Structure 1
Amino acid sequence: MTTILLQRRGHVAEVRLNRPEVLNAIDDEMDAALADAWAHIDNDPEIRIAVLTAAGDRAFCAGGDMAAPPTGRNGLSFGGGLTGIGGRLRQLRKPLICGVHGHVLGLGFELAMCADIIVAADNASFRLPEARAGVIDHCGVVHRAIRQLPHHVAMAMIVAAAPLDALRAAQYGLVNECVPGPTLSIAIDRWIERLLACSPLVSQAAKYAALDGLDTNLADALRGVYPPIEAYKQSNDSREALAAWRDRRPPQWQGR
């Protein structure tokens, strides 16, 4: 069985975790397949949006496969490079939507937090099981959790393996939207429509600037010069934005 499914629909690439028999736990083969998928998505100029989902009814992802844990590939970190755990971090240029359901555990939780937009089915449950299981290694997931959640909520997950349900996750701003399970794909499609209405180059440039600016203080981030923003000024889409405004019509983005 293929550990992930990669399907393109127009300008959208969907990556689907596909090991439902083990709750989509990530092993070396899946990790390598994710690395290939992210590289393909970033290198294809026709792909503007990435979507990450998972097969099966019980779980988005149960974390690393305890029977065959990922070891990294070509120096990349886990999750195909997205997490920064155990290797080199890869920043996906394209906006990433993640749709989660059921169990979202450990490395799976980390992978979801790497997304730009998270849509959760109402049966999703986020948890860091390390303390309860007595297992800890790179510990990268705790650093994202403590940054993306209120302090005491994150600490309860970190030190006591306390679960966080989808509704509370939405209240705390961890997820963008919590929806009934059967409507998860419909909600994801709404976010896709919102993104496709935007200039793909502006979305990518703004994402780059926002994440790059996190590595410094606010004053330096405000003074920063960001190459994708500078490059956009000479793009066809930049000229199309002005023409569409002048002609009072919706812009037709080329993504170049």
Structure 2
Amino acid sequence: MAEVDFWCEGRVAQVRLNRPDHLNAITDTMDDLLAEAWERINDDPDIWCAILSAEGERSFSIGADVSGGGDRQRRMAFGGGLTGIGGPLVTLKKPLIAAVQGFCVGGGFEMAMCADIIIAADTTEFGLPETKVGIIGECGVVHRIVRQLPHHIAMAMILTGERMRAEAAERFGLVNEVVPLSDLPVAAIRWAAKINAASPLANQAAKAAALSRLDYPLEVALDTQFEGIERYALSTDKREGEMAMKEKRKPVWTGR
């Protein structure tokens, strides 16, 4: 049985952590499989968005599996490169939805924060247990959480190790929707359908533009010409959008 499952449903790639007996702790093998998944998603024009989920009710992921040590020099980066910890940061070009449940802590929490949309089951607890147990290293999760939550809320989680329930995470804007655990897969598919109703090339160009200038002053972002947006202007989808508007019909995107 693979520790990371990968399959496609139409235009949606499904990436599922599958080590529930170990609370989906990430091994080196899983790390490599995730790296392959992100590469395939980036390279396949027929994949328009992706869903990252996990098997089992108890945990989305508790982060890295430290029980076996692992060769961190060999690892591309925890999470297959999405997090940038221990290796180069891989940018996923397509929209990513994280569907999380149970324990979503440490590196598992960081991987969820790499997504563009987070759907949380009402059983979810987010947390950074590192300081509470006296462990702290090159911890990317602290850099992400302080950018995605209000400053004092983020610092309280970092400094106390206390977990945050899904309802509070939604209130602070960390997650997009909270649903019953049984509804989590359906909710993720519903969000994927909403994303894929838009032009996939426009979505990719918009994501690249938004994230590439996130840490720059607004005037710099406004004065930047984005290669992806300029390429999109010459695409078939751009012409299809204009024609559909003129003909008062829904556009039929090809991703070309």
Normalising to structure 1: TM-score of the pair? 0.97
Per the alignment, do residues 254 and 71 of structure 1 end up closer, same or farther by CA in structure 2, a change over 3 Å counting? farther
Aligned residue type for 1:127: G
Are positions 1:24 and 2:24 aligned together?
yes
In structure 2, distance between residues paired with 1:234 and 1:118: 32
Give the % identical residues.
Answer: 51
Q: Which residue of 2 aligns with 1:213?
A: 213
The secondary structure found in structure 1 opposite 2:53 is strand
Within a 5 Å distance, the mapping from 1:175-194 to structure 2 comes to: 175-194=175-194
Tell me the residue number matched to 1:15: 15
Q: Report which stretch shifted further, 26-35 or 67-76.
A: 67-76
Residue type of the partner of 2:238? S
Q: Which residue of 2 aligns with 1:238?
A: 238
Extract structure 1 runs of 4+ deviating beyond 6 A. Answer: none
Q: Corresponding residue for 1:39?
A: 39
**Closer, same or farther in 2 for the Cα pair 1:228/1:73, shift >3 Å?**
farther
* Structure 2 spans left out of the alignment, 5+ residues: none
Given that residues 101 and 123 in structure 1 are in contact (C-alpha distance below 8 angstroms), is that contact kept between their aligned partners in structure 2? Answer: yes
- Matched pairs, number: 256
Shift of 1:215: 3.5
Structure 1 counterpart of 2:103, which letter? H
Q: How does 1:63-74 map to 2 (within 5 A)?
A: 63-68=63-68, 71=71
How far has the Cα of 1:252 moved from its partner?
A: 0.3
Mapping for residues 83-232 of structure 1, pairs under 5 Å? 83-232=83-232
Q: TM-score, normalised by structure 2?
A: 0.97
Structure 2 counterpart SS, 1:234? coil
Paired letter, 1:237: D
Could you say if the C-alpha distance between residues 174 and 92 of structure 1 is closer, same or farther in structure 2, counting changes exceeding 3 Å?
A: same
Query: Aligned residue for 1:50?
Result: 50
Which secondary structure does the structure 2 equivalent of 1:193 belong to?
Answer: helix
Q: Following TM superposition, by how much is the alpha carbon of 1:68 offset from its aligned partner in structure 2, in angstroms?
A: 2.9
Query: C-alpha distance in 2, partners of 1:70/1:163?
Result: 27
What amino acid maps onto 1:96 in structure 2? L
Equivalent residues of 2:32, 2:76 under 8 A apart: no
CA contact (8 A) 1:75 1:88 kept: no
Task: After TM superposition, give the deviation of residue 70 of structure 1 in Å.
Answer: 5.5
Q: Secondary structure at the match of 1:214?
A: coil
Residues 20-76 of structure 1: per-residue CA shift (max 9 Å, x gap): 111000111000100000000110000001100000110000111121355558773
- Judge conservation of contact 1:70–1:78 (CA < 8 Å) in 2: no
Q: Which residue identity is paired with 1:119?
A: I
Which whole-Å CA distance do the structure 2 matches of 1:216 and 1:72 have between them?
32
Deviation of 1:77 (Å): 2.5
- State the distance in 1 between where 2:243 and 2:69 align: 52
Unaligned runs of 5+ in 1: none
Distance 1:69 1:208, change over 3 A: farther
Q: Is 76-85 or 222-231 further displaced after alignment?
A: 76-85
For each residue in 1:200-234, what CA deviation from the matched residue of structure 2 results, as whole angstroms up to 9, or x when unmatched? 00110000000001132111111111111000000
Q: Distance in 2 between matches of 1:142 and 1:151?
A: 11
Q: Distance in 1 between matches of 2:67 and 2:242?
A: 55
Q: CA deviation at 1:157?
A: 1.0
Taking a change above 3 Å as real, the CA distance of residues 221 and 129 of structure 1, as seen in their structure-2 partners, is: same
